[in-house]
Structure 1
């Protein structure tokens, strides 16, 4: 089975929508990836429509979010802790194994790419692209929810 990889291209938009989902009643949440991307697109002015590429097994909302390694009708399952049940979101084993191998190889040669999304550096270093505090929070939420261990 191929690893599921989730790539957040616009953390601010994705995090804002995830905030709404987290506050919604479970029955009001999207039930599959297609519905998730469709609802996300509705909240973004001039957003494209979600598209499924069967050959790549990828749902894509261009410039916003990509979910690769999934079937067209892939269901969603939300994990949200309560005081009586703590739920942990574990990384995909296959993707974790591959990323560990890549990281260990980079460590062996003394460097390589940084696996931290750029908005962290922009915010901490106050670059011209730095998000506001609220945008940073939304971006962190998107990173937390969709992080794919790479």
Structure 2
């Protein structure tokens, strides 16, 4: 008699051979496991200019606003070449490390003295931002929800 584990193993092998999980899906799943900071607050997407645009011409920037606790993150995303450029601003202004995470990797920068930051050449796809204060007690570390850019 064939055991349950043997049947499941055979099914996994068949499914993996004939209908493999796309690499982008696997990368996104692995990236989602990276959120293991229970102290980080979640910043919710509260505004997306794409919701108001009917037809988008190439190069038209998309504006996203995330809100988490007392922190607002405004982000402008512009498609360029095969990727996107991200320009953002933190309010209130605070010294912070800003990391843009994607299944393809992370891009780190810092907000300047006016709360602004910029990262160029990010691969199009799912991304989220992580803001970490450089001053203890400035605000709780913050992560945005994943968004498709």
Q: Which TM class, normalised by the smaller chain length?
A: under 0.3
Structure number with the higher helix fraction is 1
Pick 1 or 2: higher relative contact order, CA cutoff 8 A, min separation 6.
1
The two structures have a TM-score, normalised by structure 2, of: 0.26
User: Which of these two proteins has the greater Rg computed from alpha carbons?
Assistant: 2
Structure with higher strand content: 2
TM-score (norm 1): 0.26
